[in-house]
Structure 1
Amino acid sequence: MVLKLFSALFLALIVWGRTLNVAAEDDDEIAWWKTSNYYQIYPKSFQDSTGNGTGDLVGITERLPYLKEIGIDATWLSPIFKSPMVDNGYDISDFRTIDPMFGSQTDFDKLIEKAEKLGIKIILDFVPNHSSDQHDWFKKSVEREGGYENFYVWHDGIPDKNNESNRLPPNNWRSVFGGSAWTWNEKRKQFYYHQFYKEQPDLNFRNSEVKKEMEAVLIHWLNRGVHGFRIDAVPHIFEDKDFRDEPVIPNVDPEDYASLDHIYTYDQDETFEIIYEWRDTLDKFTKLKGGDDRILLAETYSPLEKKMKYYGANGKKGAHFPFNFLLLNLNENSTASEYVSCVLQWTDAMPEGETANWVLGNHDKPRVVNRVGRDKANLLNIFMLSLPGITVTYYGEEIGMENIELPESYYIQDVRDAERSPMQWNDNESAGFTKSLKPWLPVSPDFKYRNVKKQRQRPLSNLNQFKFMTELRAKYNFFDSAFLIDVENESVVNVTRASRIELLFNVGTTPQEIAQNYRNHSKVLFVNEHSKRRIGDVIPANRTMLYPNEVLVLEKHY
C-alpha cells in the first residue's frame, strides 16, 4: 500500500498486523542501492582464467554475464589487495595494489569497464582495522620512523614480578582467534595489539595521520570506478584508550575470545563516528564527481541496538546498511513464528527511512545447506527474495552448494575454507572453475550434477527458482510494494507482496491444510521441487494442502 502525503511518499509495510512506515523517494529518484540484489564473490574460488588453480580478476570479468542472468545488480569482492595471505587476503600489505595472485591493475580496470556495460556495480572489501605486519607502515613503526611511531597500537606492557627481565601484556584482552591480543616486538621493545592474527597488527585510529591515509585509500578506489565498500570487522576499529581489563566471563576457557565481555574493544563510541566520517567522504565524492551513489556496507555482529547506530545517529548518516544476519539464526527445525520473528526484529528496530537488508551466508559461515538441510536451503533462498529491501547472496548459494570436507592432502590453514570451495559451473573436470586438476581447494564431490549448466536445463532447479524470484522482485517492485507477513500456523508462513502476489512456505515436516483468505481463485506462478502442483494451475478459493518444504507463489484474483 503506497500512500502519498503531499510531496512525500511513504511505503507502508504491513507486518504481522502492524504498519511500519519507511520513507521512500519518488519512483524515478529511488537510489540504485535500495532496490538491488547483491552477490558476494570470493575471488580465489569464482573463476580461474590462467589454469593455476586460483580464481582471478579476468575470471570474474568473464563470468559477469552470469550475474546479469540471475538478476544481480552489484557484487562485493572479498579482498584482492597485495597480501602475504596469512588470513586469505584480510592481512593487507598494500591497500592500493592488486595482489599478483588475482591479476593486475589493468585487469581490474577491464573488470570495472565490463561491469559498467552490464549495469553491475562493483563493491570492494575495505579492511581498516588492521594491516599485515609486512606493510611498510608497520615496518616503519617498528623502527620508530618519524610520522609512523604511533601508526599502530603499542604499549610497554607491565613488569613480570617473577622475572625482572621480562614484561607482560598490559591487560587481559584476547584475540578473536584465541590467546593474548598482544605480541612482543623485540626490536621496538614493546607489545603491539592485534585483535586477529599476530600478523595483523591493529592500526591506531586515534592518530589523525592513520585516518587520513585510510580515507585516501577510499578515494583511490573510488577514482578507479568502484561504487562502494563493504567494511570489514567494523566494531573492532577502536579500543579503550586507557587499556582497561575487560570483565571475565566465568566457566569459559581463559584463552578463548568468548572468555571476556568485550566492553573496551568492541563497538566503542569512536567507531560509530568514524563510520559517519567515511559516509561523509563518500557523499562528498559523489557530489563532486556526479553519478550514482557510492555506498558503505558495514560488517558487524553487534547487538541489534548497537547495529542500528551504524545506520547513523544525531543527524549524521552512517553506513547505507549494516549487514542483517538474523536469518542465519534459522535452522531446519525453526517454526513459522521464528521465521516471522527474524523479519520483525529487524524492521521493528530499523530507524525510520532506512532500508532493510537480508543475508543468508558469507565466507565466514557454513553454507545454508549445511546449516538447515538441503530441503530448507532452497525454501530459505525464496523466503529471503520475497522480503522488502536488499538481498545479499554468497556465491554458489543460488545452486545449493555445500561445505566441502578439507582433506589433509591440501594445505588448509582455516576451517572456514570449507565454505569457500570453487564455484561449480559445469560437469567438466574441476567443475569448469579451472583447467588445473588441483584447484586451490577441492571441488565439492557433487559438482557432476550440482552445477550451473545442469541447473539451467531443469525448470525447477535451485538456480531457476532463484532467477524467477529476482525477476518477480523487479516486476512487482518488491522494494516499496505492499508487504504483509503472517503465520497460518506454526508450520506455514504467508508473505504477500504488491497486494496480489502471495507466497506460502511450509517450513514444517507434515502436510498442512490452509484456508485461502480471499473470495476468488488464485493462479500458480511458480512452485519449488516439493510441490505437486504445476505452473498455471488454478487454486480454488477455499482450502488447499501445502506439503513439507513446499513453496507456492500465487497470483490472487479478486
Structure 2
Amino acid sequence: MAPWWQSAVVYQIYPRSFADSDGDGVGDLRGIAAHLDHLSALGVDVVWLSPVYRSPMDDNGYDISDYTDIDPLFGTLADIDALIEGLHTRGIKLVMDLVVNHTSDEHAWFADSRDLSSPMRDWYIWRPARDGHEPGSPGAEPTNAGSFFSGPGWQFDPASGQYYLHLFSPKQPDLNWENPAVRHAVYDMMRWWVDRGVDGFRMDVINLISKTYPLADGPANGPGGLCYDPSIVVEGPRLHEFLREMNREVGLSEKELFSVGEMIMVDAATARSHTDPAAGELGMVFTFEHVSIDNGPTGMKWDVVPLHLPALKANLAEWQDEMADVGWNSLYFENHDQPRSVSRFGDDSEPFRVASAKTLATTLHLLKGTPYVYQGQELGMTNAGFTSIEQYNDLESTRFFAEAVAGGGDPAQLLAAIAFKSRDNARTPMQWDASPNAGFTTGTPWLAVTPNHAEINAVAAIADPDSVFHHYRRLIALRHDLEVVRQGRFALLLPEDERLFCYTRTLGDEVLLVVANWSSEPVALPSDLPDRSGAEVLLGTHDSTGDELAGWESRIYRLA
C-alpha cells in the first residue's frame, strides 16, 4: 500500500508573512490559526511550517537558538499546540522545518562550545588558523571555503583563538555530525516534537550534514580566492548512514511520518537512493535542478537567462523517469527561497497572469509526486517589484549586492537580477483582501506589501469561480479522486517543442493527456498527439476544446 503522503498535497506557510494577529507587522501562529478555513477550502492535506523556533532572526528564523521553544515574535508553545489541534480537527497534518546542519551562534550549545575545555567543544567544527598565519589575520582561515551567503565560510572567534565553519551566515555555525552526542540530541528534539503532535519534517539543506574530512582547500573560483563550489560540501561520505540512523531513532518509517529532505545539487539517481523505501532514509527530496534552468553560464542564480522550455521539460522528465518505480518526487515551482513562478516562468502581465498561473499549476500538479503549494501561489501572486536595495530584507540578496558592487558590478544590472530572483519576492505579505495592508496586518508590515494586492487577493479569488484559487482547488480534487494522477506512469510528448508542454499519465487502461501552451501566442496542437476524439476534458483554463490553444491555455483530457 502506498504511503499516505503519496496522495497528499502540501501547503507551505512562511509564518512571518502569512497573517499578523497582534498588529506588530509580523505574521504569527495565531494569525495562521485564524485562516485555517482557507486551507480547508483549498483542500490541502499537509501544512509545512517554516521555522517558528526561538531565534535572533539573522536569517529569518533559519538560525535557531532553541529547538524546543517558540520565538515570542510568533507566539508560544500553547499557540503551536492550538494550531496543531486546529489543523488536525480539519484533517490536515503539520510538518515542521528541521534546521540541523547549523544552529544560531546564540544557541546554548554553541555558547558552551566556545570554551576550549567544554565537553561541547566538539559539537561544532572548530579549526586553528592556517599554518604560518596569525589567527584572525587576512587569509588565515583554515581553508578557502566560501559561504553560500558570500564571503569566507570561516569565522574567527577571538575568545578561543580558533575558527568555526559556517556554510551560511557567520551567525549560523555548522554542527559537527561526526559527534554521536550531536546526532542523538537532534533525534531527542525530533521525538519531542512528534510526541507533541507534529506529523513530520522538512529537512533544511540536509545533504550538507556529512562533511568530507580532512577539510581542505577547493578550487579558487570566487572573489579573494574563495571556493564557491557546492559540490565539495554535498553528499558527504556518511550521509546515508546518518539519515538511516535518524529514520530508525525517530521512527520516520515506523510511524509513517512525513519526511522531505532539501538537498543541494542532488541529481535524480541520488534522490532515488535516498528515497528508495528499502534504504530506510527519506520519503522524498527537494531538487534544485529544475529551478536552476534559468541560471546562466556561471551557474549562479543571479546570472539570469531566459527559460528554454525544452530544457525544463527534459529535466522534469528525467526525474519522473528515474523515480517511476522506486523513490518519490516532490513537485514545486515556488517556496520561500524561490521567486514567484508566474513572474519567472509565466506571464504576469494582463491579460495572461491568471491563465499562466493556472497552466503552470496544471503542468506541475499532473506530474507524479507530491505537489507543494506555496502561500499566495494559489492566488497567482507576483514578484514584489522592488526597485532599490533598501527595500530588501533578504540576507542573501543584500550581501550579494554589496559584494558585487564593491567588486565593480553595475548596480542597475545587479538590481534587475535581484528583482527577478530574490527570495523576498516570495516573502512579501500574503494578500488576503484589498485593504491598505492586504489584510495581513493592522500595523506596519515587516516587508512591503505588493501594490497589486487590490486586484490579487484571497477575497476576490474565492468570490470568482474562474479564479486561480478555484483552479488549484479542482487540481487538488483530481489528485484525491483519480488513482491515475497519483500513480500513473509519465511519458513526455513533443520534447523539443519550445511552446508546448505535453505529456500523458497512464494506469492500466486509463490515460490522461495534458496539453499546455507555455507562451502568450496561440498554438495549434500537432496532429501526432494522441487521438482526442471522444475524450473528456477534465479541467481546462479556457472554455475551448478545439485544435488550437490560446495563449497560456492548458487542458487535461481523459482519453476514450
Instruction: Give the structure-1-normalised TM-score.
Output: 0.84
1:494 aligns with 2:488: no
> CA offsets, 1:443-476, max 9 Å, x none?
1100001011111122222111111111122221
The farther-off stretch of 214-223 and 168-177 is 168-177
Distance 1:466 1:188 in 2: 54
Is the counterpart of residue 399 in structure 1 residue 406 in structure 2?
A: no
2:279 matched to which residue of 1? Answer: 316
In the superposition, relative to structure 1, how do residues 192 and 472 fare at CA in structure 2: closer, same or farther (>3 Å)?
A: same
Q: Tell me the SS of whatever aligns to 1:168.
A: coil
1:467 corresponding residue in structure 2: 473
1:141 to 1:457, Cα distance in 2 relative to 1, 3 A? same
Q: CA deviation at 1:158?
A: 2.5
Q: CA deviation at 1:214?
A: 0.8
Contact 1:327–1:359, Cα closer than 8 Å, also in 2 = no
Contact 2:342 2:380 in 1 (8 A): yes
Aligned positions of 1:166-181 closer than 5 A: 168-181=140-153
Please name the residue that 2:97 is paired with. 125
Between stretches 102-111 and 494-503, larger displacement belongs to 494-503
- Could you tell me how far apart the structure 1 residues matched to 2:21 and 2:374 are? 21
State the Cα deviation string for residues 396-430 of structure 1 (Å, max 9, x = none): 11111122144677673533223201111111231
Counterpart secondary structure, 1:401:
coil
Distance in 2 of aligned mates of 1:147 and 1:62: 45
Of residues 230, 235, 238, the one that matches 1:267 is: 235
In the alignment, is the contact (CA less than 8 A) between 1:53 and 1:435 conserved in 2? yes
Aligned AA (1:122):
L
Q: What amino acid does structure 2 have at the position aligned with 1:341?
A: A
In structure 2, the CA distance between the partners of 1:31 and 1:306, relative to structure 1 (3 Å rule), is: closer
Distance in 1, Cα, partners of 2:436 & 2:474: 29
Instruction: Tell me which structure has the larger Cα radius of gyration.
Output: 1
Query: Paired residue for 2:524?
Result: 512
Deviation sequence 1:91-121 (CA, Å, 0-9, x none)? 1111111101110000000111111111111
Match of 2:5 in 1: 33
Q: Is the 8 A contact 1:173 1:180 kept in 2?
A: yes
Aligned residue identity for 1:210: V
Matched with 2:547 is 544
Q: What amino acid sits opposite 1:401 in the alignment?
A: M
- 8 Å Cα contact 1:179-1:257 kept in structure 2: no
RMSD: 2.7
Q: Is the 8 A contact 2:144 2:226 kept in 1?
A: no
CA–CA distance in structure 1, aligned partners of residues 76 and 552 of structure 2 = 46
1:479 aligned to 2:491? no
Match of 2:539 among 511, 522, 526: 526
Q: By how many angstroms is 1:205 displaced? A: 1.1
What is the alpha-carbon distance in structure 2 between the residues aligned to residue 467 and residue 411 of structure 1? 32
When normalised by structure 2's length, the TM-score is 0.84
Q: CA deviation at 1:297?
A: 0.7
How many residue pairs get matched? 508
The residue aligned with 1:16 is none
* 2:152 alignment partner AA: S
What is the aligned partner in structure 2 of residue 445 from structure 1? 451
**Equivalences for residues 322-333 of structure 1 within 5 A:** 322-329=285-292
Equivalent in the alignment of 1:14: none
**In 2 relative to 1, CA 282–353 (structure 1 residues): closer, same or farther, beyond 3 Å?**
farther
Over 3 Å counting, the alpha-carbon distance change for 1:467 and 1:217 in structure 2 is same
List runs of 5+ in structure 1 lacking aligned partners.
1-24, 534-538
Runs of 4+ off more than 6 Å: 162-167
After TM superposition, give the deviation of residue 395 of structure 1 in Å.
1.1
Q: Separation in 2 of the partners of 1:163 and 1:57?
A: 44
CA separation of 1:185 and 1:517: change in aligned 2, threshold 3 A: closer
TM-aligned CA distance change 1:554 to 1:158, over 3 Å? closer
CA contact (8 A) 1:396 1:423 kept: yes
After superposition, where does 1:6-85 map in structure 2 within 5 Å? 25=1, 30-85=2-57
User: Does the CA-based 8 Å contact 1:151-1:204 persist in structure 2?
Assistant: yes
User: Which residue pairs with 2:393 in the alignment?
Assistant: 412
Deviation at 1:82, TM superposition (A): 0.4
In structure 1, distance between residues paired with 2:324 and 2:553 = 34
Corresponding residue to 2:262 among 299, 315, 328: 299
Q: State the Cα distance separating 1:336 from its structure 2 match.
A: 6.1
Describe the shift of the 1:32–1:546 C-alpha distance in structure 2 as closer, same or farther (beyond 3 A): same
Structural mapping, 1:366-445, within 5 Å: 366-372=339-345, 373-374=347-348, 375=352, 376-406=356-386, 412-414=393-395, 415=397, 416-436=423-443, 438-445=444-451
Mapped partners of 1:399, 1:143: distance in 2: 51
For 1:464, what is the secondary structure of its paired residue?
A: helix
Deviation at 1:148, TM superposition (A): 1.0
Q: What residue number does 2:409 align with?
A: none
Structure 1 residue 279, shift from structure 2 partner: 1.6
Instruction: Report how far residue 253 of structure 1 moved.
Output: 2.8
In structure 1, how many angstroms separate the alpha carbons of the residues matched to 2:114 and 2:530? 70
Tell me how far apart the structure 1 counterparts of residues 552 and 445 of structure 2 sit (CA, whole Å): 35
1:17 alignment partner in structure 2: none
Q: Describe the shift of the 1:143–1:505 C-alpha distance in structure 2 as closer, same or farther (beyond 3 A).
A: same
2-side partners of 1:385 and 1:379: how far apart? 10
Aligned partners of 1:366 and 1:419 also within 8 Å: yes
For residues 548 and 200 of structure 2, what CA distance do their matches in structure 1 show?
46
Aligned positions of 1:330-369 closer than 5 A = 337-350=310-323, 352-369=325-342
Conserved? CA contact 2:339–2:383, under 8 Å = yes
Report the Cα distance in structure 1 between the residues aligned to 2:216 and 2:290, rounded to whole angstroms. 35
**Cα contact 1:38–1:393 (8 A) shared by 2:** yes
User: By percentage of residues, which structure has more strand?
Assistant: 1
Superposed displacement of residue 241, structure 1: 2.5
Equivalent positions of 1:215-294 (< 5 A) are 215-249=187-221, 252-254=222-224, 258=228, 260=229, 262-263=231-232, 265-283=233-251, 287=254, 293-294=256-257
CA distance in 1, matches of 2:13, 2:51: 10
SS in 2 for 1:479: helix
Q: What are the ranges of 5 or more consecutive residues in structure 2 without an aligned counterpart?
A: 295-304, 398-422
Shift of 1:369: 2.1
Would you say the 8 A contact 2:247–2:253 is kept in 1? Answer: no
Identical amino acids, percent of aligned pairs: 29
> In 2, Cα distance between the equivalents of 1:458 and 1:339?
32
